Chains A and B, each alone.
Chain A
Amino acid sequence: MVSNSAGIVPGSFRDPSGFLFRHAGVLYRQVNRVYRDHYEALMGSGLYDDLTGAGLLIPHEDTGLEGPRPDVSLTVIKPEAVPFVSYPYEWCFSQLKDAALATLEIQRRALTFGMCLKDASAYNMQFLRGRPVMIDTLSFERYEEGRPWVAYSQFCRHFLAPLMLMSYEDVRLGQLSRVHIDGIPLDLVASLLPFRTRLKLSSLMHIHMHARSDRRYAHKQVDPERLRGVSPRSFEGLIDNLRTAVNRLRWNPGGTEWADYYGETNYSDAAFEHKSGVVAGFLERLGPERTWDIGANTGVFSRLAAEHGAFTISMDVDPACVEKNYLACSRDGARDVLPLLVDLFNPSPAIGWDLSERMSILERGPAGTVLALALVHHLVISNNVPLDKVARFFSDICRHLIIEFVPKSDSQVQWMLATREDIFTDYDRAGFEEAFGTRFEFLDRVDIKSSDRTVYLMKKR
C-alpha cells in the first residue's frame, strides 16, 4: 500500500469511481472496482487513445501500485502532472470558452466510441501547455441508447451560464462561479440576462426554458418510464447545438484602465527597454523554474520570464488584461504562461466542503520567484496597505523577488494622490528599503533610465 487515507486529496470525494491521492509528492488516482466496466470501455474502445492523441484528455501511466483503499481498488494510475491548478473563476472569457468547447468536443468524440461524459464540471478542465485538457479520467461511462445526457444541466451551469452572463451582460459576472461551486443556478442566470436573450434560440432553450422547467418540476416526482428518451441523433444534435451556442458568444476586451497601460503610460520607450533588459538580466541570474508575475497586465514580462525557462503564472485583476494576455499567448504559442484573473486584495479563497475542495491561490504556491513590477504603489497608495505588510506578504510566498519601486515623484503616483490626502509619510525609497530589508537580502538594485523608478532583486532571508 503506497499511502494511507491522509494522502487522499480533500476535494476528491464525490465520485465513487475513484479518487486522487498523493504519495511522496506525486499525484495518483485510484480507480475503484465499481468503475471496472466503464474504465475498460474507455481504455479498450480506442477513446482514451483518441482523446490523449488530440490533447483533450490527460495521459496516464498504469502503475501497478496498490492504492490507499485496496479493498475497493481496481488499479492505480499516474496522470501527467499539471504544473498549476486553476479554477474557472480565475479564467478569462476565452479560457472558459475554450474549456467549454473542449468539453463538448470530448463528448462528441466519446459518442462515436459508444461512451459519454457522466459529468461536465468546469473543474475537470485544466490548462496544460496553453490548452484546456480534461483531467478526470473517470468522467466517462458507457452510452446507453435513449438515455439523456446526465451532465447537460451541469454543463449549462458551469460553462454556458457564466459565458452568457459575461458576453451579454457584464464580464465581471463570471465571478458568480466562485460563489456557486456547482455552477450558477439557472434561475439566477435567467433573471440577470437581458430581455434580448429570450429572443435568441440558444439562450431561450438552454437557459430560460431550462430554468423554468427546473422550477416547475423541482418538487414533483416523475416516473422515469413515462419520460421519452433521446435518440443518438438527437444527442448529437444537442451537443452540436451547444457547440454552436458557445462558439457564437463573444466578448471584446475593450480599452480598460489597465489593458491600454503600455500604450498610454508615461513610460518612454527607452525606459521600458531598459527595464526589460534589467528584468531579463535578473531572470538570467536566477534561472527560476516557476514564477508568479503579480499585476502582470497583458503579460509582457510573464512572457519574458517564460523565455528564461520559468513556468509563469501571470496574474492580473483586470479581465481585459487577462483576456488580451491569453489571446496573445494562444496566438504566439507561449505554452509556459498561464494567465489568471486574480485580485491581490481579495485573492481566490479556499472554498467548498470543509473549505478543502478548492484551494486558495496561496495554498497553490510557493511561487519560487515573484515579479512585482509597477505594483507596490497600487498596494500602498491605492489600497492603504502598509509597506511592512507588503514585504511580509511577499516573503511568505516566494524565495526570490524582483520588485519595482515607484516613488511619489512618478506621475502615476502623483495622479493617485491628486484626489486624496497624502497620509503615506514613510512611502519613499528609504522606507521601502527599510521595510523589505528586514525580510529580504538585496542582491541588486538598478535605477531605470529616463524615469524615477528602481528595480530590485531580492532574496528571502
Chain B
Amino acid sequence: MRSESARSVGLMGMLAHLRIFQSLFIGYIGAGTGSLIIQVVIAAFVGGLFVLKVYWRRITGFFKRGKECEEVEE
C-alpha cells in the first residue's frame, strides 16, 4: 500500500514535469516511436539536471559577483 502511494506520488511528479501530447507527431521525416518514447524519458531526466545547472550557475555567479565587488571596494 505504502509502495503504491510512493509510486503514485512519483507518477504525479512525472506528470507534473511531462506534458500530455496535444498533437500527433506530424513531420515529413519519421521520428520513430521508440526514439520518441526514449526522448521523453531522457528529456525529463536531463531537463531536471539542466534546471539544477542553471540554478547552480546563478548561485555561484551571485557569490562571484559579491567577491568581485569586495575586491573593487578594497
Contact = CB atoms under 8 A, between A and B. Distances in A.
A216 B35 CA distance: 10
A373 to B, nearest CB: 43
Interface stretch (A219-227, A262-270, A359-367, A423-431): A219-227
A356 interface: no
Contact of A233 (B25, B41, B50): B50
A209 B43 CA distance: 13
B50 A237 contact: yes
Given A205-B42, A209-B38, A238-B42, A152 B19 contact: no
Interface stretch (A143-151, A293-301, A387-395): A143-151
A271 to B, nearest CB: 54
B17 to A, nearest CB: 6
B28 A224 contact: no
Contacts of A150: 25, 27, 29, 31
Give the dominant DSSP class at B's interface: helix
Contact of B17 (A17, A149, A210, A231): A231
A150 to B, nearest CB: 4
Contacts of B23: 144, 147
A349 interface: no
A236 interface: yes
A234 interface: yes
B42 A206 contact: yes
B27 A234 contact: no
A234 B17 contact: yes
**Most A C-beta atoms less than 10 A away, residue of B20, B43, B47, B51:** B43
Interface string B31-60: 111111111111111111111010000000
In this complex, the interface size class of chain B, counting residues with CB under 8 Å from chain A, is 35 or more
A154 B50 contact: no
Contacts of A144: 22-23
Given A152-B35, A217-B33, A231 B28 contact: no
Contacts of A151: 29, 31
A149 B27 CA distance: 10
Given A148-B43, A205-B42, A206-B42, A220 B33 contact: yes
Interface in A7-62: 14-17
B58 to A, nearest CB: 15
B33 A15 contact: no
Instruction: Name which of B31, B39, B41, B49 has the most chain A CB atoms within 10 A of its CB.
Output: B39
A231 B34 contact: no
Contact of A216 (B34, B47, B53): B34
Contacts of B48: 237
Contacts of B17: 231, 234
Contacts, number: 147
Given A150-B25, A150-B31, A151-B29, A238 B39 contact: yes
Interface string A113-127: 000001100000000
B29 A228 contact: no
Given A14-B28, A150-B29, A228 B34 contact: no
Contacts of B9: none
Contacts of A225: 20-21
B25 A152 contact: no
A357 to B, nearest CB: 14
B21 A229 contact: yes
B72 interface: no
A146 B20 contact: yes
B69 interface: no
A232 to B, nearest CB: 9
A119 B43 contact: no
B10 to A, nearest CB: 13
B1 interface: no
B21 A217 contact: no
Interface of A: 14-17, 118-119, 144-154, 156, 205-206, 209-210, 212-218, 220-222, 224-225, 227-231, 233-238, 240-241
18 contacts: A17-B28, A144-B23, A147-B23, A148-B25, A148-B39, A205-B46, A213-B38, A214-B34, A228-B14, A229-B18, A229-B40, A230-B18, A230-B47, A231-B19, A234-B17, A237-B47, A238-B43, A241-B49
Given A222-B33, A228-B21, 12 more contacts: A14-B28, A218-B33, A224-B25, A225-B21, A227-B21, A229-B20, A231-B43, A234-B43, A236-B50, A237-B47, A241-B42, A241-B49
The 5 closest A-B pairs by CB, nearest first: A234-B47, A237-B50, A228-B18, A237-B47, A217-B34
